[in-house]
Amino acid sequence: MINVILFGPPGSGKGTQADFIVKRNHLTHISTGDIFRKNISQKTNLGQLANEYMKKGQLVPDQLTIDLLENELDSFSDTNGFIFDGFPRTIPQADAFSTLLKTKNMFVSFIISLEVSENELVRRLLRRGLESGREDDQNEEIVRNRIQVYEKQTSVLKAYYLNHLPNIVFSIDGERTIEQISNDISNILSTKQG
């Protein structure tokens, strides 16, 4: 089993790269953002609650997110592994994640950190807002707020993982072509099979 955490700020290309990895390595893609958005469009209680935070560019509360992730993991019993995109996003989420993985006898194989400068992130997110109509991508203030939330609450996870699992953290320059980046990721993942 290969379990990959794709780490990086909003707009760094996690979703795009996750799609490549899923195809090449036959992994199951878990994007907490996608799951929340699905719940919003289906008008579930969880979706309504999550949307109150998402539309402002804030994080959904940890416990809600952790419970969601646990349910999601339980729903895939037969897989080569998972690619976690957008989770964990806070230290409490990372702690809860590590406890959860232990109870399932699972391990994180790779942590891939996509590095992109703030100006480029804002440019990409606003463009995505125009193309996709995603509400939290359309307003520059909300986009900048999400990047700030990332800096405050999520970026510390890189040091956290460098501290806990130093041998499996890989930083990648995310300001190159999609293909260059996915080739780099693929080379890293090929160092471990199954």
CB nearer to ligand ADP: pick between 17 and 65: 65
CB nearer to ligand ADP: pick between 61 and 190: 61
CB nearer to ligand ADP: pick between 28 and 58: 58
Q: How far apart are the first and last CA of the chain?
A: 5
Least separation, in Å, of the C-beta of 31 and ligand ADP?
6
Contact 29, 85 (CB under 8 A): yes
Contacts of 127 (CB under 8 A, 6+ apart): none
CB nearer to ligand ADP: pick between 38 and 192: 38
Binding residues for ligand ADP (CB under 6 A): 10-11, 14, 32-33, 36, 53-54, 57-60, 65, 86-87, 89, 93, 136, 146
Alpha carbon of 143 to those of 58, 72, 146, 174: distances in Å?
Answer: 10, 27, 5, 18
CB neighbour class for 105 (10 Å; exposed up to 12, middle 13-18, buried from 19): exposed
Least separation, in Å, of the C-beta of 190 and ligand ADP?
26
Least separation, in Å, of the C-beta of 70 and ligand ADP?
12
DSSP state of 151: I
CB nearer to ligand ADP: pick between 32 and 182: 32
The dihedral over CA atoms of 162, 28, 23, 177, expressed in degrees to the nearest 10, equals: -40
Name the closest residue to ligand ADP (Cβ).
33
Least separation, in Å, of the C-beta of 191 and ligand ADP?
26
Least separation, in Å, of the C-beta of 89 and ligand ADP?
4
